[in-house]
């Protein structure tokens, strides 16, 4: 693929992501008076972050191999107990790294 | 005004430490995907959304799947509609240009810190902006440091760094759990995501799983609604 095309795609991806994200941020504020405070749309939007993260995480855990699930469980446990996302992440990554180190 | 800005920035410093580390992981992954540092910086400044940037970096394989990336960002950042809506009292009576400038600097962290301060009557737009500038600064520092150092790590997989984003999202996921009614939508999301992951290329599994799970939640609360409204309504007999 020509380099020019690659750069054009990079510009489109970042520009598109930036526009979409900014549109959602400002749009949320400006539409807030028109958005229903109750009802299906609100429930949908409220449930979305959780279900998106589940969808994101589950195939990734499976791809990580047999120790993916124990590592993810430890991560979730530490996040729940301490509320520290960084420490939780570190623990999960260390489990996977350790298993890989021992297996090679 | 300057004082509130500084207080907002300081209030976000504890979160900033993990934002640096989180950013460093993104920087390492970005280097692994051969993303130039200036592309990463441009993304930091223009998109400024951690989870979405992780997803973009993860999908970054030439030729870039632009449509899937932008749709992924759309679905991931859908929550900003609600976050934006929740900031209405803070911005009430402000001119449009303040809203337009201010909303770009709203991230999950400074929003949460500001909403907590708002309940104590200590928040303002300057406070929110102070937090936003603080986070944007450390986000750029962390990602660029990770990107620079990542170039020296030949095999990030050996350090489990490919698992880092799974771990970050798992840790963040914990905070989204509300009650047992989340079980069914979350299991449906997981099932749909796994199925789509098997059947379709790219990252469509995030969209099918995310949308499917959330729609199930709507259906769930819809079927629970008649009972709930009966409780809320005063009895007609009296």
Give the dihedral of Cα atoms A85, B114, A15, B60; nearest 10 deg.
0
Closest CA to B193 of B35, B75, B17, B21: B75
Q: pLDDT of B213-223, one tens digit each?
A: 989 999 998 88
Most confident of A5-19, A81-95, B142-156: A5-19
Per the CB < 8 Å rule, is A12 touching B66? yes
Per the CB < 8 Å rule, is B99 touching A79? no
- Is residue A67 located within the same domain as residue A22? no
Domain tally for chain B? 2
Closest CA to A56 of A72, A71, A44, A45: A72
- Is residue A103 located within the same domain as residue A53? yes
pLDDT for res B235: 43
Going by pLDDT thresholds of 50, 70 and 90, the confidence category of residue B232 is very low
Structural domain harbouring B98: 2-176
Query: Is residue B238 one of the residues assigned to a domain?
Result: no
- Is residue A59 located within the same domain as residue A29? no
Across the interface, which of A58, A84, A97 has its CB nearest the CB of B190?
A58
Q: Cβ contacts of residue A1 below 8 Å, gap of 6+?
A: B62, B63
Mean pLDDT for B90-100 is 91
Across the interface, which of A17, A55, A89 has its CB nearest the CB of B69?
A17
Per the CB < 8 Å rule, is B212 touching A62? no
- Is residue A70 located within the same domain as residue A99? yes
- Is residue A75 located within the same domain as residue A53? yes
Residue B230 has pLDDT above 60, yes or no: no
- Is residue B25 located within the same domain as residue B78? yes
Which range among A63-67, A88-92, B110-114, B152-156 shows the weakest confidence by mean pLDDT? B152-156
Residue B231 has pLDDT above 60, yes or no: no
Q: pLDDT of B175-208, one tens digit each?
A: 778 889 999 999 999 999 999 999 986 567 877 8
Mean pLDDT for B101-113 is 88
pLDDT for res B66: 94
Domain boundary among B139, B158, B176: B176
Residue A92 has pLDDT above 50, yes or no: yes
Mean pLDDT for B63-68 is 92
By the CB < 8 Å criterion, does B31 face chain A? no
Q: Cβ contacts of residue B25 below 8 Å, gap of 6+?
A: A89, B146, B161, B164, B165, B168
Confirm if A60 and B166 have CB atoms less than 8 A apart: yes
- Is residue A93 located within the same domain as residue A56? yes
Residue B112 has pLDDT above 80, yes or no: no
Q: pLDDT of B120-145, one tens digit each?
A: 788 899 999 999 999 999 999 999 99
- Chain B hits for A25, Cβ within 8 Å: 80, 83-84, 103-104, 106
Domain boundary among B176, B196, B216: B176
- Is residue B146 located within the same domain as residue B41? yes
Per the CB < 8 Å rule, is B167 touching A25? no
- Is residue B225 located within the same domain as residue B113? no
* B97: closest CA of chain A, how far (Å): 11
Residue B152 has pLDDT above 80, yes or no: no
- Is residue B41 located within the same domain as residue B120? yes
Mutate to test the interface with B, among A6, A11, A29, A34 (most CBs of B within 10 A): A29
Confirm if A78 and A88 have CB atoms less than 8 A apart: yes
* B91: closest CA of chain A, how far (Å): 9
By the CB < 8 Å criterion, does B226 face chain A? no
Closest CA to B106 of B120, B88, B87: B87
- Is residue B154 located within the same domain as residue B182? no
* B130: closest CA of chain A, how far (Å): 17
Structural domain harbouring A88: 47-104
Query: Is residue B85 one of the residues assigned to a domain?
Result: yes
- Is residue B32 located within the same domain as residue B8? yes
Domain boundary among B176, B199, B218: B176
Percent of chain B with pLDDT over 90: 45
Per the CB < 8 Å rule, is A55 touching B17? no
By the CB < 8 Å criterion, does B114 face chain A? no
- Is residue A71 located within the same domain as residue A22? no
DSSP B238: -
Residue B141, token pair as written in the block: 């520092």
* A46: closest CA of chain B, how far (Å): 7
Residue A94 has pLDDT above 70, yes or no: yes
Which range among B26-35, B86-95, B107-116 shows the weakest confidence by mean pLDDT? B107-116
Query: Is residue B201 one of the residues assigned to a domain?
Result: yes
**What sections of chain B are H helices per DSSP?**
2-11, 13-32, 37-46, 50-59, 66-76, 79-86, 88-91, 96-102, 108-119, 125-150, 164-174, 183-199, 204-232
Can you tell me the distance from the alpha carbon of A50 to that of B178, in angstroms, rounded to the nearest whole number?
10
Confirm if B213 and B182 have CB atoms less than 8 A apart: no
Q: DSSP readout, B195-232?
A: HHHHHSSTTHHHHHHHHHHHHHHHHHHHHHHHHHHHHH
């Amino acid at each position: 693929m020509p380099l020019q095309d690659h750069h054009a795609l990079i510009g489109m991806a970042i520009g598109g992501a930036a526009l979409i994200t900014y549109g959602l941020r400002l749009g949320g504020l400006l539409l807030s008076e028109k958005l229903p405070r109750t009802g299906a749309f609100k429930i949908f939007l409220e449930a979305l972050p959780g279900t998106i993260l589940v969808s994101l995480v589950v195939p990734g855990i499976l791809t990580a191999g047999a120790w993916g699930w124990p590592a993810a469980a430890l991560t979730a446990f530490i996040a729940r107990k301490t509320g520290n996302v960084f420490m939780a992440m570190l623990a999960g990554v260390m489990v996977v790294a350790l298993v890989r180190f021992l297996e090679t | 005004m300057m004082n509130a800005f500084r207080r907002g920035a300081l209030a976000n410093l504890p979160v900033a430490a993990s934002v640096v580390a989180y950013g460093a992981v993104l920087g390492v992954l970005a280097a692994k995907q051969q993303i130039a540092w200036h592309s990463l910086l441009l993304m930091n400044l223009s998109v400024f959304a951690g989870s979405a940037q992780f997803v973009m970096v993860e999908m970054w394989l030439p030729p870039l799947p632009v449509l899937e990336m932008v749709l992924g960002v759309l679905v991931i950042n859908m929550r900003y509609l609600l976050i934006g809506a929740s900031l209405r009292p803070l911005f009430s009576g402000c001119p449009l240009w303040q809203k337009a400038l201010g909303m770009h600097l709203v991230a999950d962290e400074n929003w949460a810190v500001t909403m907590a301060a708002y309940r104590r009557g200590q928040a303002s737009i300057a406070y929110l902006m102070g937090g936003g500038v603080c986070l944007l600064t450390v986000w750029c520092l962390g990602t660029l440091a990770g990107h620079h150092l990542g170039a020296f790590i030949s095999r990030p997989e050996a350090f489990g760094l490919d698992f880092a984003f799974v771990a970050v999202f798992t840790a963040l996921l914990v905070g989204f759990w509300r009650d047992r009614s989340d079980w069914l939508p979350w299991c449906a999301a997981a099932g749909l995501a796994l199925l789509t992951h098997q059947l379709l290329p790219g990252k469509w599994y995030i969209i099918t799983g995310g949308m499917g799970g959330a729609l199930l939640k709507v259906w769930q609360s819809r079927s629970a609604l008649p009972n709930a409204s009966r409780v809320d309504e005063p009895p007609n007999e009296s």
